[in-house]
Amino acid sequence: MSRLLCILLTAFTSLLLSSCQTGGALDAAGQQQVQYRRLAIASEPPGDYWVGRRFHIDKTHFWGYVRRPGESWDNSRLVVMNERFCRQPDRFPELPSADGPAYGSDHNTEYRLWGSFSGRKVYDPNSNMILPEFMLQRYEVKDASPGWLFKPNEKFDGVHLFRGEVGATPGKRY
């Protein structure tokens, strides 16, 4: 009971604080969508797994965002997948052949992931970012069309991330 009360109090406080934001503020419907999303995430069953959202930008090799169940996408980390134990969900050619799917065709799909962070940082030369490495062991599709990621009014343009990545130190080009 106390966990539910804590979740509801946090959601209510977040709603009040989000209404004070300037620039890009959400209307009442957008704020309500954020609240529903927070409640849905808070109700995820705890466990020894991660929640991942595929985020594909052409010619980059990061995989997408990973977070713990019950945690906000705001706390997620943009990762590079290590396929030593399991191939990543959309292991397709970068250039499709005939009618086959291409790398990144699962953009915005949400997965349950089993694995762990290796503690290593990996350089993606195409995005010029150094990102945490996730050692994937297995996965399953959670939702093929989960909707928005960070804010209801975000628009994916195929080129830009929705936020600056904390700790994604720009790499040095040699």
At residue 155, the pLDDT reads 83
Question: Which residues face 134 on adjacent strands?
Answer: 81, 117
Structure tokens at 29: 């419907």
Confidence at residue 70, expressed as pLDDT on a 0 to 100 scale:
96
Instruction: Please list the ranges in the chain whose pLDDT falls under 70.
Output: 1-24, 92-96, 166-174
Q: What is the 3-state secondary structure (H, E, C) of the chain?
A: CHHHHHHHHHHHHHHHHHCCCCCCCCCHHHHHHHHHHHHHHHCCCCCCCEEEEECCCCCCCCCEEEECCCCCHHHCEEEEEECCCCCCCCCCCCCCCCCCCCCCCCCCCEEEEEEEEEEEEEEECCCCEEEEEEEEEEEEEEECCCCCCCCCCCCCCCCCCCCCCCCCCECCCC
pTM: 0.76
For 153, the token pair is: 């009014």
Q: What is the pLDDT of residue 59?
A: 82
How many Å separate Cα 149 from the centre of its chain?
7
Each domain of the chain, given as residue ranges in start order, spans 1-19+28-43, 47-174
Residue-level pLDDT at 173: 43
Report pLDDT for 2: 55
pLDDT at 66: 97
The pLDDT score that the predictor gives to residue 25 is 82
